[in-house]
Structure 1
Amino acid sequence: MNVMLIFLAAVAAIIFWWLSGQRLTSKPWLETGSVQLPGHDGAERQRLPAPAVKIGLFVFLGVVGAVFSLAVSAYFMRMASTDWWATPVPRLLWVNTAALALSSAALQWAKREAVHGRMEVLRPALAAGLALAIFFLVGQIQAWRELTAAGYVLADNPSNSFFYMLTGLHGLHILGGLAVLAHTTVRAFSTAVATDRLRLSVDLSAIYSHFMLAVWLLLFALFAGWANDFVDLCRTLLS
């Protein structure tokens, strides 16, 4: 329960911090002018409040974070049972983690290039992020196959069930993000693309990718046993 509350508090703090910087409390009908920022071509462009779709994404990520926090809390409570045997972590998960981290870095690179309007660099950055995310999903399926071949099946013990459930849930969210990222990548290679809409799509894809990377790092630490050591350390310091 303590782990769940800490995770929810962290998610809420991140959302509040982001919303506080998006001029959501501004009153445009009372403003006599608009804030101007220099564009990449030397012209001035208007700074607008955050689009509703971006706010909706952060609300959705808050819900996703709550779902994973509940699952992690249940994991900690269940592992105290006598019928719990830890599931070994396949070495392939290290490669998958690196691929997901590189995918997130590629999308951050694409986000920066989209801001400056450099389409010739944006396109390969998006393609790299998409390919690495697909590689991550394929690697996760292969890790499942290695575990089942070694006898660690779904119904063998609660640890196996949680491993398949959490990695499967995370994989489904990655798959959903891939659908949006693939659509964004195809639009980037189109000749008639709206720059502002493409920039927003790249920004949303990057935010989603960073969040799912953070969730996966938490899950990976959980499976590897590092999270357990951290919780024990915190309990020792608080007692």
Structure 2
Amino acid sequence: MSVVVMFFAILAALAGWWLARQRLFAKPWLEQGVIDDGVPEFRLSHDPAKRVGLGFLLAVIGSLFMLVIGAWFMRRDLGDWQPVPIPGILWINTGALVLSSLVLEWTQRAVRRDSIGAVRTGLAIAAVFALAFIGGQLFAWQQLAASGFVVAGNPANSFFYLVTGLHGLHILGGLVALGWAAIKASRATDTRTVRLNVELCATYWLFMLFVWVVLFSLIAGWAGRFVDFCMELLS
């Protein structure tokens, strides 16, 4: 259960960092800027309600995966657990998800430069890498099933399909939001109308990348060995 506690602590730290980054605790009615004619102008809040909504969504998703991870460790301690071999394509899939997240970070910079063409390109490339990740996960399922590691074959098999399937569904949900941002960008003449969409997509993608790294460490057995090592030190 130590990994669950650690996972929750990291989620809390990420949430605090994200809230500070979004300046949700700022008081915009006390902040003033100056436009060209010298008249004070209150800064826009950039729709903080959507940012808060994303924060709650990520908290719910994080809690869901935390429960799954806890169940994973409790079930693993029973005698019938037989680890699943790691398909090599999972490394490629991880790289695709990393690249998708990096491209969205680059797209955020394009938004700040007000380069709508670069934003459109960035969203398209990020979507391609995300689709490659989903396709790679399905191929990994096919490889395991062809090798006899079916869902009902062993509890470890079931958990593998469960955690990768849940994560894949959340990536598909993110692709819907990414597609909507791409549609808005295709109709926009500047980046003001898509700024928030791109920022929220980038934040969601970074979070799902973190979740996948944790899940991959579970699947590969690194997290279990780390917990066992810590338990030995404490005993």
Q: Which residue of 147, 150, 154 corresponds with 1:153? A: 150
Task: Call closer, same or farther: CA 1:49–1:193 in 2, change over 3 Å.
Answer: closer
Distance (Å, rounded) in 1 between the aligned partners of 2:24 and 2:138 = 42
Match of 2:159 in 1: 162
49-58 or 160-169, larger mean C-alpha shift: 49-58
Q: How does 1:116-155 map to 2 (within 5 A)?
A: 116-155=113-152
Q: Which residue of 188, 191, 197 corresponds with 1:195? A: 191
TM-score, with structure 2 as normaliser: 0.90
Match of 1:34 in 2: 32
Distance (Å, rounded) in 2 between the aligned partners of 1:7 and 1:166 = 15
Alignment RMSD = 2.2
Distance (Å, rounded) in 2 between the aligned partners of 1:58 and 1:105 = 20
Counterpart secondary structure, 1:196: coil
Distance (Å, rounded) in 1 between the aligned partners of 2:54 and 2:7 = 18
Report the CA distance between 1:49 and its aligned residue.
6.6
Report the CA distance between 1:46 and its aligned residue.
3.0
Report the CA distance between 1:119 and its aligned residue.
1.5
Distance (Å, rounded) in 2 between the aligned partners of 1:5 and 1:206 = 26
Report the CA distance between 1:174 and its aligned residue.
0.4
Tell me the amino acid that sits aligned with residue 8 of structure 2: L
Distance (Å, rounded) in 2 between the aligned partners of 1:21 and 1:35 = 20
CA contact (8 A) 1:34 1:47 kept: no
Report the CA distance between 1:11 and its aligned residue.
1.4
Structure 1: tracts of 5 or more residues without a match: 38-43
Task: Call closer, same or farther: CA 1:25–1:51 in 2, change over 3 Å.
Answer: closer
- Corresponding position: 1:103 with 2:105: no
Match of 2:52 in 1: 55
TM-score, with structure 1 as normaliser: 0.88
Task: Call closer, same or farther: CA 1:128–1:113 in 2, change over 3 Å.
Answer: same
Match of 1:6 in 2: 6
- Corresponding position: 1:178 with 2:182: no
116-125 or 159-168, larger mean C-alpha shift: 116-125
Match of 1:41 in 2: none
Report the CA distance between 1:25 and its aligned residue.
4.0
Q: Percent identity?
A: 47
Deviations 1:73-123 (A, max 9, x none): 111111111111001111111111111111111111101111221122222
Structure 2: tracts of 5 or more residues without a match: 36-40
Report the CA distance between 1:236 and its aligned residue.
3.2
Distance (Å, rounded) in 1 between the aligned partners of 2:117 and 2:56 = 33
Q: Which residue of 84, 88, 99 corresponds with 1:87? A: 84
Match of 2:112 in 1: 115
Report the CA distance between 1:150 and its aligned residue.
0.6
Match of 2:212 in 1: 216
Aligned residues: 230
